[in-house]
Chains A and B, each alone.
Chain A
Amino acid sequence: MASSTRTRTSAGRRQAHGIRGILLPNHDTALNLDDAIRALAAARRLPETHLARWLAMDEPSRSAFLELARTIRLRTGQIILALDLLGEIAVRERKRIPEILAAPELMRITARAGSAPERARAFIGALRALRFPRLRQASERLERQIAALRLPRGISIVLPRELGSDVLTIRLEVTRATDLERGLAVLADRGAAIARIVAMLGGSDEV
């Protein structure tokens, strides 16, 4: 796990997903974990309620999350979202936060090269997929069905956001009358397959 440019960690004190002692930037004074969390929270202007939630975690979880926040430089909103998602996954899966952060799909993101903002975005996306596994699978299955339609340019099928309704949107863009005829013919040709997607959206398949 890479260390943040703003923070130096002592390799001797570092564990797989936790930091026992943390050195603040430009200081040689070792502060305890909670002071380091407070310092980061202050730098990010993290609201007090979220800081309190972070500090209420057990020590390995507090530490692992601090390491993560520094490594991929989570912004304030991302810290809040990640705290929410991790807390919910922990209850759903009955896992501790260091265990969750050790998931291969998350480790790959934190360890890989790339800019910190890009990794932070990818991390939140991966965390969300862990929190909503069946939604992710159902969305992917529907997206595959839509891709298999091989619709020409100018026709698109849009799923409801986060599969939050049973309404499928079909968009047809035309500039000429022939575009319209061609588009309607394509839709008629794919009618059965589109109807199948509509049925899937209505829970016809195992989710």
Chain B
Amino acid sequence: MKFDLDAVIIEHDERDSPLARRVLAALAPGIPVEYVADGREAARPRPGTDPFGAGKRRMVLMRRRAPFLMGCPAGSAQFACCGYQVMILASNCPMDCSYCFLQEFVADNPAFQVYSNYSAGFDEIDRMIHAAPARQFRIGTGELADSLAFDTLTALTRDLVPFFAARQTVTLELKTKTDEIHNLLELDPRGRVMVSWTLSPERVWRTCEHRTAPPAARIAAAGKVLEGGYRVAFHFDPIIAYEGAERDYAELIDNLLDVIAPAHIAFFSLGGLRMTPALKSAARRRFPADPMLLGEDILARDGRLRAFTPLRLRLYRILAERFERAGAPVPGYLCMEAPSVHERVFGAAPSNPATIGARLAHGRSTTDAPKDSSQ
């Protein structure tokens, strides 16, 4: 997959970093390269009609001044969380999904930043492992950026995969909407690396997920990395409750299970489209003709616009039941939903986040109790 870049900006002090050298060596001819003292300034929005969109085409290679590891920013005590740990290697994304939360989250620094001192993140992980040697962690790089977009340029996976492959208590999750798996197929993950795809029906992909790989290409890529020794997982998030969504999402799961046997799926996650009013405004400004941003969303208790509850939960149940009927149990969890919703969908209360995180790292069930069919 190819993405357009208008410019590459590199911090002076990082020009000899391995990342900068790799990017410069692989960069297509004609793309201007600029050197600056402080990448943070270059990452700020620039005047124009769409500063966020323009930021996506401006790659800034810079030092990260904050820690690389953090708890998932979506986590909250009001939700049944999955214990996901996030490693921030980059910020923003060359793809442009109309619903993307980054439109609000990184509005003040929208350039596509890649952090050249990422080996400091490896040190943080080692310290975390050392502090809790008995615990299993699931660490992902796909929260503020797509894990694989531009991997042909940055080749970050060539350092990430061997690092995680050598450690027994951490699982790396590379989350993506691309089919950029070339580097992965040349590495040996030794069972410690999982590649997960966000999947949406064809109609959502065509309407909302600009510059991403088509759903069928994502599924095909999953089949290939599975053969390459990686574990695979799938995120149905955001689920958009448009007219006909029930049929389309069920068909999407059927298409997935035609290619990947349920026994080979580490887990799946479900999450309804949720937007703060500010995000909805930003998204509507950038994509005024996108009907998917205009579902039957109402302001929920958490201050986010979500499809009204029976509709949203109906979709969750349809998808969860589809996996349940697939012939082999596939662990599932809900993103940014209350424990009561988890219980309604999966028939049992969720475990605590740390336990869920550890179980997902192993591909085990996220609930404690057996399913009660009366729910």
- A contact residues vs B (CB 8 Å cutoff): 88, 91-92, 94, 131-135, 138, 160, 162-167, 200-207
- Sample of 17 further A-B pairs with CB below 8 A, known A91-B290, A92-B291: A132-B308, A162-B299, A163-B308, A163-B309, A164-B298, A164-B300, A164-B309, A166-B344, A200-B310, A202-B310, A203-B309, A203-B311, A203-B312, A203-B313, A203-B315, A204-B314, A207-B310
Partner of A160, one of B294, B309, B316, B375: B309
* B131 adjacent to chain A (CB < 8 Å): no
A205 touches B314 (CB 8 A): yes
Cα distance, A94 to B291, chains bound together (Å)? 9
The answer to whether residues A165 and B310 also contact, given A91-B289, A134-B296 and a CB cut-off of 8 A, is no
* B17 adjacent to chain A (CB < 8 Å): no
Cα distance, A44 to B288, chains bound together (Å)? 27
Cα distance, A88 to B344, chains bound together (Å)? 32
* B184 adjacent to chain A (CB < 8 Å): no
| B310 surroundings in chain A (CB, below 8 A) | 138, 163, 200-203, 205, 207
For B284-325 the 0/1 string (1 means CB < 8 A from A) is 000011110010101111000010111111111100000000
Residues of chain B at interface, number, CB under 8 A: 26
What is the CB-to-nearest-CB distance from B129 to chain A, in angstroms, rounded to a whole number?
A: 39
| A200 surroundings in chain B (CB, below 8 A) | 310
What is the CB-to-nearest-CB distance from A128 to chain B, in angstroms, rounded to a whole number?
A: 11
The answer to whether residues A201 and B311 also contact, given A132-B296, A164-B301 and a CB cut-off of 8 A, is no
Chain B CB within 10 Å — which of A133, A163, A203 has the most?
A: A203
| B375 surroundings in chain A (CB, below 8 A) | 202
Chain A CB within 10 Å — which of B289, B290, B294, B312 has the most?
A: B294
* B341 adjacent to chain A (CB < 8 Å): yes
Cα distance, A94 to B341, chains bound together (Å)? 33
* B168 adjacent to chain A (CB < 8 Å): no
B311 touches A162 (CB 8 A): no
Partner of B308, one of A88, A138, A206: A138
Cα distance, A163 to B308, chains bound together (Å)? 6
Cα distance, A163 to B311, chains bound together (Å)? 9
| A91 surroundings in chain B (CB, below 8 A) | 288-291, 294
What is the CB-to-nearest-CB distance from A156 to chain B, in angstroms, rounded to a whole number?
A: 20
| B288 surroundings in chain A (CB, below 8 A) | 91
The answer to whether residues A203 and B299 also contact, given A91-B289, A91-B294, A163-B309 and a CB cut-off of 8 A, is no
| A167 surroundings in chain B (CB, below 8 A) | 340
What is the CB-to-nearest-CB distance from B179 to chain A, in angstroms, rounded to a whole number?
A: 31
